[in-house]
Chain A
Amino acid sequence: MEPEMKWEDETLTVYLRGELDHHNTCRLREAIDGAMRRLLPRCVVLDLSQTAFCDSAALGLILGRVREARRLGASLTLENVPPAVRRILDLAGGAEFFQNGTGGKRT
């Protein structure tokens, strides 16, 4: 599964569509990290409006991209977070994580 991405005003937006499980996140991780390293964006946005399913693998994907964005000097924001994703982020203390200077826009 290759994610759709948009590159505009130094912002890389990644649309995480479909089912974010362990099987799908492996490919997504490579694609997102590849784009971030190539483009060196100022901001990275993960748009979750079309995310149909997520489990702890999605959590690993999101937290891993936060770390990678930081390493590259970019900020990372989550947009259009569905309730199911929010619940898993909250369980891992992720909500708090996103309020500490990484954007953390939650809709």
Chain B
Amino acid sequence: MKKRQKNRLTATFLSRSENEALSRVLVAGFLMDLRVSVETLSDVKTAVSEAVTNAIVHGYRQEEGQVRLDLLLFEDGCLRVTVTDRGCGISDVARAREPFFTTDAEHERTGMGFPIMESFMDRVRIHSRVGHGTRVRMEKQLLP
């Protein structure tokens, strides 16, 4: 059965690092009327920040591109976040998901982006094609 949608928001912004904060403000604003705990909101903001930072840092590297953030809230209190870029893509998604794996240790990347998303959200799906981009879809049940 298809779940009923309660609200949705789509935003597209440039792959500039100051937009990491913007993405967190967007998700916090989107959930403003929902009575979610401070911890839950913090988890969602952190996961969104990780996915958006990945798109900016790894997807586009130094190039300018567009990052798309889709927020979808279902009637049953489930939030779906999709972060899409048209950057370089990930050649080995399974490896990218491993804790501490990073392609860029030089800039003190920790390789903890995907593990944090997986730990803070209920489900994380990654779809990526080299040369075409990456889509990260995360879901979390916000209300009991």
Q: A87 to chain B: closest CB distance in Å?
A: 8
For the complex, count residues of A whose C-beta is within 8 A of B.
21
Q: A51 to chain B: closest CB distance in Å?
A: 12
- Contact check, A56 vs B57: say whether CB atoms are below 8 A apart: no
Q: A21-B49, A22-B53, A84-B46 are contacts. A55–B108 as well, Cβ < 8 Å?
A: no
**What is the bound-complex CA distance between A22 and B19, given in angstroms?**
10
Tell which of B39, B57, B100 touches A22, judged by Cβ atoms closer than 8 Å. B57
The number of inter-chain residue pairs (CB within 8 angstroms) is: 63
- Contact check, A60 vs B108: say whether CB atoms are below 8 A apart: yes
Q: Which 9 A-B pairs have the closest CB atoms?
A: A23-B17, A60-B108, A56-B112, A64-B108, A22-B53, A60-B110, A55-B49, A21-B20, A59-B110
Q: Which residues of A contact B (CB under 8 A)?
A: 19, 21-23, 26, 29, 53-57, 59-61, 63-64, 83-84, 88, 91-92
Other than A26-B17, A29-B108, A57-B53, give 7 A-B pairs with Cβ distance below 8 A.
Answer: A21-B17, A21-B20, A55-B46, A55-B49, A60-B107, A61-B108, A83-B39
